[in-house]
Amino acid sequence: MILIADGGSTKADWIALDTNKQEAFRVRTLGLNPAVVSQEELTNRIVNMFQLMNVKSEVTEIHFYGAGCGTPTPIEILKNVLQEIFVNAKIHIAEDVLAAVYASTGNAPAIVCIVGTGSNSCYYDGKTVHMNTVSLGYTVMDEASGNYFGKLLLREYFYEMMPKRIAARFEELNNLDPDFIKLNLYRKPNPNMYLASFAKFMFEFKDDPYIQEIIKRGFNEFFKYRVLPYGKTSDTPIYFIGSIAFYFREILENVAEENGLKITGIIQRPIDNLLDYHRNNIN
């Protein structure tokens, strides 16, 4: 049995393939970002999913593509966790941008971007992934991501820059006690997920000019730091992966056009496309 996983910071989608490469089952666990989640918690999030535990001895390969898997230390942490659970499996771990590449452009050159809980981008030349910079995560980078917009919304609210009618709804939906917020930001695990939870609020007001201006601001920053530095022309395909890109595609496409580029495709969830790639390309 082969397991294929697309692991974000908020959630991880798993698909199990039998010996004939037919789907046996699929499950979703909590996010498995080894850069921000402890080794103990990574283990707990996997072992608490009984479908995975039921087949742990039958798994011979795991192809895990994950947020936070761009540098050696977190890769080693996650590999150790998976190896201790799936003792008969050969473990392959790569950064989530590679899954985005396989799910969108396959083997063709393109710029591929992720805009989810976090954000990232790469240029794929058809053989190799090239990144314009290493990602330093949610506190420094992650432009246009869920946690980026969460931080922005909190600042707008507490600086009283948010329109009153929107602020009233923001208060209704969220616990905005400063001590509670600081507890989640500085004491509890996964502050990036906590920040990203506020971004869901934007979907309710996605047609409001204020929210649209915030989204445009984030997408402009993303293009400035994560797309334009590749120096590609409008002939280069550009793909986006993630719910924020999917739900705000009109604004995203306008920002791309303003920068002389065009979005080729937007995929909300890459796991099905990733499955097709593995069926067709991995023996």
Question: Residue 48 has what pLDDT?
Answer: 92
Checking phi first, is residue 174 left (phi over 0); if not, alpha (psi -120 to 50) or beta? beta
Task: Tell me the CA distances in angstroms from 74 to 40, 68, 70, 132, one per residue in order.
Answer: 13, 7, 8, 20
DSSP symbols for 18-42: -TTS-EEEEEEEE---TTTS-HHHH
Question: What does the block give as tokens for 42?
Answer: 């990574």
Cβ(244)–Cβ(116) under 8 Å? Answer: yes
Establish if 228 belongs to a structural domain.
no
Q: Would 6 be classed as within a structural domain?
A: yes
Six token digits for residue 150: 């969460």
Burial of 175: CB neighbours in 10 Å, binned 0-12, 13-18, 19+: exposed
Please state the domain count of the chain.
1
Angle CA 247–195–201, to nearest 5: 40
In a domain, 215, yes or no: no
pLDDT of residue 43: 94
> Which residue is it, tokens 């761009």?
70
The three-class DSSP label of residue 211 is helix
What is the pLDDT, as a whole number, of residue 189? 80
User: Does residue 152 fall inside a structural domain?
Assistant: no
Tell me the CATH number at 42: 3.30.420.40
Q: Rounded to two decimals, what is the model's pTM?
A: 0.84
Tokens matching residue 124: 């794929």
Specify the pLDDT at position 200: 86
What per-residue confidence (pLDDT) applies to 20?
A: 84
In terms of residue numbers, what domain contains 276? 2-99+271-281
Q: Does 134 reside within a domain?
A: no
Taking CA atoms, 19 is separated from 1, 2, 260, in Å, by 6, 8, 46
**What pLDDT is stored for residue 67 in this prediction?**
85
In a domain, residue 156? The reply is: no
* β-strand pairing of 61-66 with 23-30: unpaired
Note whether residue 189 is domain-resident. no
What's residue 283's pLDDT?
Answer: 60
What's the chain's Rg over C-alpha atoms? 19
The answer to whether the CB of 149 falls within 8 A of the CB of 157 is: no
Residue 122 located in a structural domain: no
Give the model's pLDDT for residue 223.
97
What are the 10-residue block averages of pLDDT along the chain, 283 residues in total? 88 90 90 89 93 94 90 93 95 90 89 91 92 83 93 96 95 96 91 89 90 95 96 93 91 95 91 83 66
